[in-house]
A = this chain, B = another copy of it.
Amino acid sequence: MGRPVILTVALNAALDVTYRLDRPVTPHATHRVTDVTHAAGGKALNTARILHTLREPVIATGLLGGHTGERVAALLPAGLRHSFTKVAAESRRAVVVADPDDATGFWEPGPHVTRDEWRRFLDRYTALAKPSRVVVLSGSLPPGLPVDTYATLVHAARRAGAYTILDCDGPSLHAALPERPDLVKPNATELAEAMPHLDTTGTSGTREAAEALRAAGAGAVVASRGPAGLVAVTGDGHWRATPARPETGNPTGAGDASVAGLAHGVAHRLPWPRRLRGAAALSAASVRAPIAGRVDVRDYLRLRSTIHVEEL
């Protein structure tokens, strides 16, 4: 076996479109956009981009549709390997209107995926999973794919011998747990929604909810808690990773950065405390970066030494 390879799966990749305005968004008015920028978006592509920034051998796969999908592929960083299945319908756009105060988002629903397109993707995915050490499954499902889509992909990755990291929420997450994904990474909101009968606030509530997810099938759970860092509940022990101080900036994509850190740690078979240290540092570095889902490697290396990891 060669170097460890991480496969990221973007089933509902997006063209991230940012509209800049001179004035605040006003409902039911018209606004002249002063500047338009495009980027390849969606959770799995954010994770792939950060792994590529760390010079990890990563392959991005998933579904891309129409001209919008071609544009997403063209906007991936040079040298990032990818192998997407084309679908006929257009990939979605995720429009962020950035005014002087804050951002307002409009998410298109994504392309309808046909059965034939899905079968072609599944063949490609199975072939790509075989030589991979880690498979990262993250983000929403486009219309037309069944709720157990991630269950199918977790099952296929397990048969191919790959470690699976799953970052999704709601019915998709519940449907996938019986297939025993190796690692699940909910944020605080997703954890509360997944375990509505539990009080998930605070470290002990987070632990209890994470244990419930493990009982439902997850091999390990790493809960991301924004500026409070990460809580890991695994078969090998429980840990908490906390940044020295909360970073200010753009929290969008911080979860995707922590997934990149976890995938990197798993691929290199690092012990849990080192995985968590890297994941928390990437998350904090991503908050500092001006563009969502990016990191400056120098920030990451500097922040890594400031993360406090403790066994619970």
Give the B-binding residues of A (Cβ under 8 A). 19, 24-36, 67, 71, 95, 97, 99, 101-109
Evaluate contact between B27 and A24: CB separation under 8 angstroms: yes
- How many copies altogether? 2
Evaluate contact between A33 and B67: CB separation under 8 angstroms: no
CA A235 to CA B53, docked complex, whole Å: 70
Evaluate contact between B108 and A33: CB separation under 8 angstroms: yes
Evaluate contact between B28 and A27: CB separation under 8 angstroms: no
Closest to A32 in B: B107
Contacts of A32 in B (CB 8 A): 107, 109
CA A32 to CA B93, docked complex, whole Å: 11
Evaluate contact between A104 and B28: CB separation under 8 angstroms: yes
CA A292 to CA B29, docked complex, whole Å: 16
Contacts of A103 in B (CB 8 A): 28
CA A32 to CA B103, docked complex, whole Å: 15
CA A105 to CA B19, docked complex, whole Å: 12
Closest chain-B Cβ to A190's Cβ sits at a distance in Å of 15
Evaluate contact between B33 and A109: CB separation under 8 angstroms: yes
Contacts of A71 in B (CB 8 A): 67
Given known pairs A67-B67, A95-B95, the reply for A29 and B104 (CB within 8 Å) is yes
Closest chain-B Cβ to A5's Cβ sits at a distance in Å of 33
Evaluate contact between B31 and A106: CB separation under 8 angstroms: yes
Evaluate contact between A30 and B109: CB separation under 8 angstroms: no
Evaluate contact between A19 and B104: CB separation under 8 angstroms: no
